[in-house]
């Protein structure tokens, strides 16, 4: 049995997606205000999150639900390692550690991989489809905001192994719709995707203190005082 999981994930996470885009850190980012110190902390947190996800998904390539979406072209760890070397230097591994929110995120990934691996699909969708859909826009914003040239420090947003991102997303969604799950499992995956959005929000909120210190309370308040319509509500990806 298969269900329209891709559409259900999109519809079922709209509210959480909008909430994530309206966190202070992301709201400022989308408006072109990016503090390099805060950004490199985010890169470090993402390294631990993707490390956990790619480790667990890699172990489950023969799993009937997880295996079909375990597409190596999406993997981000190598790109994140390059970005961390750019920001911290060759000894980057000795200089980073996960924030409390990133630690919780990593723990959740390992927990469901052990107890309910099919729920990893919700995390996979939340992170990778978000990266692929908005990556180029976010990369361009970060380049301008931090006065950077080329891809160095921003390789997280570059998918070298995906020639046509739109076609790849279509294939990914079709693959999700063909997963051998019933509606009850689909509902649980959507619920887990919403949890993934909230785990991401917690990471963003932890970065707000650094951002406020960098740009000041007045500017931060001005940039975040209005709620924006989420990208999934404004238009189809």
Q: What is the pLDDT of residues 39-59, one digit of tens each?
A: 999 999 999 999 999 999 999
Q: What is the CATH number of domain 5-226?
A: 1.20.910.10
- Residues 201-223: what's their mean pLDDT? 76
Give the pLDDT band of residue 224 (cuts 50, 70, 90): confident
Q: What local confidence, expressed as pLDDT, does residue 33 receive?
A: 83
Q: What local confidence, expressed as pLDDT, does residue 215 receive?
A: 67
**Largest separation between any pair of C-alpha atoms in the chain:** 54
- Cβ neighbours around 39 below 10 Å, total: 22
Question: CA angle, corner 36, sides to 33 and 41, nearest 5?
Answer: 115
pTM of the full structure: 0.90
Give the pLDDT band of residue 226 (cuts 50, 70, 90): low
Q: Is the pLDDT of residue 144 over 80?
A: yes
How close are the terminal C-alpha atoms of the chain, in Å? 26
Q: What local confidence, expressed as pLDDT, does residue 214 receive?
A: 65
Q: What local confidence, expressed as pLDDT, does residue 92 receive?
A: 98
Give the pLDDT band of residue 31 (cuts 50, 70, 90): confident
Q: What local confidence, expressed as pLDDT, does residue 32 receive?
A: 84
């Amino acid at each position: 049995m298969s269900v329209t999981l891709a559409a259900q994930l999109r519809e079922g996470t709209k509210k959480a997606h909008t909430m994530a885009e309206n966190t202070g850190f992301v709201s400022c980012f989308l408006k072109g205000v990016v503090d390099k110190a805060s950004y490199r902390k985010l890169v470090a947190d993402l390294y631990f999150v993707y490390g956990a996800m790619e480790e667990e998904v890699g172990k489950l390539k023969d799993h009937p639900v997880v295996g079909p979406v375990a597409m190596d072209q999406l993997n981000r760890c190598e790109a994140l390692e390059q970005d961390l070397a750019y920001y911290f230097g060759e000894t980057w591994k000795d200089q980073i550690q996960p924030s409390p929110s990133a630690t919780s995120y990593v723990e959740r990934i390992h927990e469901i991989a052990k107890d309910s691996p099919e729920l990893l699909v919700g995390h996979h969708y939340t992170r990778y489809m978000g990266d692929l859909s908005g990556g180029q826009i976010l990369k361009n914003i970060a380049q301008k905001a931090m006065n950077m040239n080329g891809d160095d420090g921003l390789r997280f947003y570059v998918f070298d192994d995906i020639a046509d991102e739109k076609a790849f997303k279509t294939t990914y969604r079709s693959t999700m719709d063909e997963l051998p799950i019933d509606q009850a499992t689909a509902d649980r995956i959507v619920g887990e995707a919403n949890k993934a959005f909230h785990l991401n929000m917690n990471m963003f909120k932890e970065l707000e203190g650094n951002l406020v210190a960098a740009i000041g309370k007045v500017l931060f308040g001005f940039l975040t005082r209005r709620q924006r319509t989420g990208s999934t509500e404004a238009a189809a990806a």
